[in-house]
Homo-oligomer: A and B are copies of this chain.
């Protein structure tokens, strides 16, 4: 038989301990951030009926990018490509009993069949956080504030990124009343604006001309004028009193009060998914090396109602772990993460193994993470393994140590050692922990 390939499935990643540590650092920071706002974790199934994506996720996502197949019982299912339909279904299932407002989050993996590229994987991990049961700017502002805190809490500064805010109703009014596009033209224009920064100005203009068709002469200048609007105050008069504009103003005001200085109104911000109904927003990286959308979200008041229950006002945000990692890399915000293991216990000879095992048990009972070398190898080989694993301390156990209860603790990074008793050993090895799990402080804005 030929040997099997060691490659992971295309577009998916193997997370070796050093990779997983970094992913966990991101997950833990997110978890602490959203829990600090009172959001509670839920879990959703990996598979859903394909229907729930066809209903509202848009043709590209539901039709072309899902991992959809028939199960052995003939059901058409898909590996979830996003969380919003699942959590909407879950809220609908508990529409009566669930205390409202409900603040819910999850950290989960998703799959989309796309061409893998930098920052885009077929299997990817996201934080999703949604606020159910509160309408209006105050809820939108909370979700944006929380998205903001999800970056700030890694030690980021506000000038490293920008929050762009728009409103789906305003987009609709612009497409219809201002640019005079019908529903098909509006949909195409929305997608074109979504791609605006990824294509050339020439290409953009050419495609806009195609969308306007016979109306291009009137449409193009209006489009150019629209793109030039940088503030809600510059909107055409007939839109100034639109409820959507009022809501954008309110959201922006609330963000300023919350101390958020990097939020702007962006009339070209679309958001591809069909289900948004109100405020939409995206977080953009300001770094020239990574000038791209980090994540986004918005209001989608109609999704829960699709499951045959009374609709619920909903606003949510979704953050990808790989995109976040790239942001942190570009801005030099990734900490050095060593092993979680506190101490590597090294028996100096085979006879000391049982005593070393007992010491390991005693340390573990005190909450120390203690790995025991059971190979019977020479000392230098054991030390090398500890260093290669980036474990901060080694403890040597021989006949003397077992008898006297005094232990040599070697700091492997600093290459110094000290002879201490059991209690002191615990203090030393616990004191160096970097782990964000062991500390619940968060950065302030």
Contact = CB atoms under 8 A, between A and B. Distances in A.
A56 B37 CA distance: 47
A380 interface: no
A104 interface: yes
A6 B89 contact: yes
Given A4-B307, A258-B357, A437-B437, A47 B111 contact: yes
Interface stretch (A91-99, A154-162, A200-208, A231-239): A91-99
A372 interface: yes
Interface in A63-85: 67, 69-73, 75, 77, 79
Given A43-B19, A369-B35, A374 B139 contact: yes
Contacts of A8: 44-45, 89-90
Contact of A40 (B46, B259, B341, B442): B341
A440 B79 contact: no
Nearest to A7: B93
Interface string A346-367: 0000000110010011001111
Interface string A186-203: 000000000000000000
B99 A385 contact: yes
Contact of A51 (B4, B24, B103, B149): B4
Interface in A17-74: 17, 19-21, 23-24, 32, 35-49, 51-52, 55, 67, 69-73
Given A23-B43, A40-B17, A77-B9, A35 B341 contact: yes
B357 A14 contact: no
Given A12-B46, A258-B361, A367 B442 contact: yes
A45 B111 CA distance: 10
A45 B11 CA distance: 9
A101 B440 contact: no
B374 A138 contact: yes
A344 B46 CA distance: 32
B139 A441 contact: no
A257 interface: yes
A340 interface: yes
Contacts of A55: 1, 4
A312 B51 CA distance: 45
A442 B4 contact: no
A423 interface: no
Interface in A368-402: 368-375, 385, 388-389, 391
A308 B4 contact: yes
A123 interface: yes
A36 B368 contact: yes
Contacts of A340: 35, 40-41
Interface string A215-259: 000000000000000000000000000000000000000000111
A92 B3 CA distance: 11
B307 A344 contact: no
B43 A357 contact: no
A445 interface: yes
A71 B75 contact: no
A354 B36 contact: no
A374 B134 contact: yes
Contacts of A71: 67, 113
Nearest to A64: B72
A13 B123 contact: no
Interface in A256-286: 257-259
A24 B107 CA distance: 12
Nearest to A131: B374
A71 B78 CA distance: 12
14 contacts: A5-B49, A9-B75, A12-B47, A13-B45, A14-B43, A14-B45, A15-B42, A40-B341, A46-B46, A47-B67, A99-B388, A101-B375, A134-B375, A139-B374
